[in-house]
Amino acid sequence: MPLRDKFDLTGKTALITGGARGIGRACAEGLAEFGADLALVDIHAGNLAAARAEPAEAWGVAVETYQCDVTDETAVVRLVDTVADRFGRIDILLNSVGITIWQDTVGMSLEQWQRVMEVNLTSTFLCCREVGRHMIERGGGSIISIASMSAHIVNTPQNQVAYNASKAAMIQLTRSLAAEWASHGIRVNTISPGYTLTEMTQTVPEHHPGWCERIPMGRMAEPDEIAGAAVFLASDASSYITGHDLVIDGGYMCW
Ligand SMILES: NC(=O)c1ccc[n+]([C@@H]2O[C@H](COP(=O)([O-])OP(=O)(O)OC[C@H]3O[C@@H](n4cnc5c(N)ncnc54)[C@H](O)[C@@H]3O)[C@@H](O)[C@H]2O)c1
């Protein structure tokens, strides 16, 4: 098959968590551009409605939205059944839900620690388990989770021990699933962005100059600069890549 055709996602269905805005939304638009139908999942109903129109109109793909808290096990089980019923298949899972809490460790409550772990790590486990079950039955698929360069480095000046630990754990969760599910035709990878211009970071503009000084490329990423990697990892163009973490950080980790 020509390499160009391997990027084609026509007829495939992608379930994207955190798909209402930021990196999840940008990746969803990229997947739609290459032909994938979308199941956009988010806890925020208003943002979901806004995210729905563009890929449907621009690329003519089917788009459905699902309001769901992906830390809720019962809700995730129901979600995956509903999406599988609606589209008949789930070929791609992209986990983009995530939060951080900036807090010195001695001031961090157990509740704060658990909240970050629940949203970043437990939700990834739940979505992978439920979609993985479906992919095993269907004989394959591609799972991508948005980790972070914070899995590899310690950010400064903000202290965020739970976030950093949760992201490192997402990578090892991914490697474990990659090994466990390779024989089922399921590839499992992470993308680790550096600082990216989304609502997560736009709320703290005073930190941008200091962060950018530490980035060889001298700037933060736009969300759509993460989307190309998502399309690649979702598609047959990456058919021998599994258990991999693709860092997209403008060179941050070089220094
Ligand atoms: N922005 C960055 O600089 C950056 C860098 C590295 C990694 N990341 C990671 O990328 C991912 C996306 O981040 P972003 O910057 O786009 O953030 P964002 O806050 O813009 O988007 C996150 C989305 O997740 C949704 N969400 C949060 N909790 C949820 C829940 N329990 N159930 C369902 N939906 C929920 C939010 O409503 C939001 O739409 C996160 O995992 C984040 O940790 C971001």
Does residue 66 have an active-site annotation? no
Does residue 239 have an active-site annotation? no
Give every strand in the sheet of 63-67, ordered side by side.
Answer: 63-67, 37-42, 13-17, 92-95, 141-146, 186-193, 245-248
pLDDT at 54 (0 to 100): 85
Residue 25 Cα to ligand 1 middle (Å)? 10
Residue 4 Cα to ligand 1 middle (Å)? 30
Q: How many CB atoms within 10 Å of residue 106?
A: 6
What rounded mean pLDDT belongs to the chain?
97
| pTM above threshold 0.95 | yes
Does residue 176 have an active-site annotation? no
Please identify, by atom number, the ligand 1 atom nearest to the C-alpha of residue 150: 6
Q: What is the mean pLDDT of residues 217-227?
A: 98
Q: Is the CB of 252 under 6 A from ligand 1?
A: no
pLDDT digits (tens, 9 = 90+) for 122-179: 999 999 999 999 999 999 999 999 999 999 999 999 999 999 999 999 999 999 999 9
Please identify, by atom number, the ligand 1 atom nearest to the C-alpha of residue 195: 3
Where do the domains of the chain lie, and which CATH numbers do they carry? 3-246 (3.40.50.720)
| Partners of 15 in the β-ladder | 39, 93
Q: Cα separation of 147 and 133, whole Å?
A: 22
Please identify, by atom number, the ligand 1 atom nearest to the C-alpha of residue 120: 41
pLDDT at 140 (0 to 100): 98
Q: What is the mean pLDDT of residues 224-236?
A: 98
Please identify, by atom number, the ligand 1 atom nearest to the C-alpha of residue 118: 31
pLDDT digits (tens, 9 = 90+) for 44-69: 999 999 898 888 888 999 999 999 99
Establish whether the linkage from the previous residue to 157 is cis, with ω within 30° of 0: yes
Residue 99 Cα to ligand 1 middle (Å)? 6
Ligand 1 atom 42 nearest Cα: 98
Percent of the chain with pLDDT over 90: 96
Q: Is the CB of 137 under 6 A from ligand 1?
A: no
Residue 3 Cα to ligand 1 middle (Å)? 32
Q: Is the CB of 24 under 6 A from ligand 1?
A: yes
How distant, in Å, are the alpha carbons of 33, 47, 91, 142, 212 from that of 233?
Answer: 15, 26, 12, 7, 27
